[in-house]
Structure 1
Amino acid sequence: MEDIELQQIWKSYDQKLQEQLVFNRKNASDITKIKVKTELRSMRLIKIFTVLMGILWVLFLDVLVINLFSVGSPFFLISAGFISLVNKIAVGIYFYQLILISSVNINAPVLNTQKKIAQLVNSTMWVTRILMLQLPFWTTFFLSSVWIGSGNLIFWIIQGVITLGFATTAVWLFTNIRLESKDKRWFKFLFGNYEWTPIMKAQEMLVQIKEYEDLG
């Protein structure tokens, strides 16, 4: 009789323990979802600011190019025009990211959210790669036709080395900015903590949520 009672007590205890584990996993999953939402919200504020600043910067460049089109140096017009074009593309990508963040439903299946976070990661790298292409044009916008005729050999050697150096850096960064480089020091320095870190944290927490759901 005592053995039967002990078995019943043990089964009751085991059932309560399982229920508690399920409850704890659900709580942990819900808390992690809130953290993911917080990370996404922090990214959203940064990207809104970036879009607004980008629009103002592009408008400034366009107004400058239009007003100086008839009298400006070809070097300035081409350089400023290309910089403006690159930044227009960047603003478009950031706007796409805002739509992507707004469409994330944290209560939807984790795989759907993971897919959208992956798109955020991919587009963040692409927008940075594209922005790097403007680097050499920052070394040519101030040149004028007068300088071409009056500049001495030393000036053009220095100018050529600087422009070539920036162009080489731009191509190297465009080629090497990818997920495989995320742990390298130059990558972390380039992306900083305000835009890249929240994405990585959200991605890691989604993996945790998936594990909780699989266990539950």
Structure 2
Amino acid sequence: MEDKDIIHLWKSYEKHLADNLLLNRKNAAEITGIKIHSFLASMRPVKYFALLAGILWVAFIDTLLVSMFYTASPFFLVSMGIQSLLTTIAIGIYLYQLLLIEQIDISGPVLDTQEKLSRLKSSTLWCARLLWLQLPVWTTFYLHAGMFVKENSWLLAAQGIVTAGFTIAAVWFFRNIRYENRGRSWFRWLFEGKEWTPVIRSMEMLEEIKVFREG
């Protein structure tokens, strides 16, 4: 076999190897994209359930507020009003997230998908932070003017301690539920599940697709 035949054979082998490598990368990117779609799809049932539960809860609270507006104590009205407001904001966030999930196109530009996943991650954190702010009103909705008498001083002192504790906890969670704390045990305990894990896994796998496409 002449040298030129060997060179031709070698170049043919190199081309075949490059084509196989390109095909493998394309297949790997497509498989990873399917996995990301599966992760995002697994979030829909949880978010639809949370959306429905939130709507029913707000409808129930608002019905109470309207029917008891002139008879209930100010503590009840303010506490339930805060509950309704924060839950309504959470409903809006869930609607926004469901729209984001529908808009994500893995076959499109990676940067566009990364940006949508980042918004999904950020809104998930904000929703949790806002819902934790409801914590103190669970300790105040049952209060009324008749309780504030001298005979109830010990009861009121205990009430103050409980409400202050819940308020401190709510503020702490609001300030510390951040992506930077994702490695902490309390964060993992709060966020492990369909609300959080699919987003993070999708972001990680999207980086793999970026490597496959650029490689």
Same fold at TM > 0.5: yes
**Which residue is 1:109 aligned to?**
109
Number of aligned residues: 215
**Which residue is 1:187 aligned to?**
187
Q: Which runs of 5+ in 1 are unaligned?
A: none
Q: Per-residue CA shift, 1:6-52, capped at 9, x if unaligned?
A: 22222211111111000000000001111111111111221111111
Task: Please report how far the alpha carbon of residue 120 of structure 1 lies from its aligned counterpart in structure 2 after TM superposition.
Answer: 0.3
Aligned-partner SS, 1:194: coil
**Which residue is 1:209 aligned to?**
209
Aligned-partner SS, 1:152: helix
Mapping of residues 38-49 of structure 1, within 5 Å: 38-49=38-49
Task: Please report how far the alpha carbon of residue 150 of structure 1 lies from its aligned counterpart in structure 2 after TM superposition.
Answer: 5.9
> Bigger CA drift: 45-54 or 15-24?
45-54
Q: Per-residue CA shift, 1:61-89, capped at 9, x if unaligned?
A: 11011111111111111111111110000
**Which residue is 2:31 aligned to?**
31
Q: Which runs of 5+ in 2 are unaligned?
A: none
Q: In structure 2, what is the Cα distance between the partners aligned to 1:97 and 1:73?
A: 36
Q: Which runs of 4+ in 1 moved over 6 A?
A: none
**Which residue is 1:64 aligned to?**
64
**Which residue is 2:92 aligned to?**
92
Aligned-partner SS, 2:42: helix
Q: Per-residue CA shift, 1:179-215, capped at 9, x if unaligned?
A: 1001111111122312100000110111000000001
> Bigger CA drift: 2-11 or 154-163?
2-11
Task: Please report how far the alpha carbon of residue 2 of structure 1 lies from its aligned counterpart in structure 2 after TM superposition.
Answer: 3.4
Q: In structure 2, what is the Cα distance between the partners aligned to 1:107 and 1:13?
A: 31
**Which residue is 2:196 aligned to?**
196
Give the TM-score taking structure 1 as reference length: 0.96
Mapping of residues 142-153 of structure 1, within 5 Å: 142-149=142-149, 151-153=151-153
Give the TM-score taking structure 2 as reference length: 0.96
Q: In structure 1, what is the Cα distance between the partners aligned to 2:150 and 2:87?
A: 33
- Identity across matched positions, percent: 47
Q: Are 2:140 and 1:140 equivalent residues in the alignment?
A: yes
**Which residue is 1:160 aligned to?**
160
- Tell me which amino acid in the other structure corresponds to 2:24: N
- Tell me which amino acid in the other structure corresponds to 1:67: S
**Which residue is 2:2 aligned to?**
2
Task: Please report how far the alpha carbon of residue 151 of structure 1 lies from its aligned counterpart in structure 2 after TM superposition.
Answer: 5.0
Aligned-partner SS, 2:18: helix
Aligned-partner SS, 1:189: helix
- Tell me which amino acid in the other structure corresponds to 1:191: F
Task: Please report how far the alpha carbon of residue 4 of structure 1 lies from its aligned counterpart in structure 2 after TM superposition.
Answer: 2.8
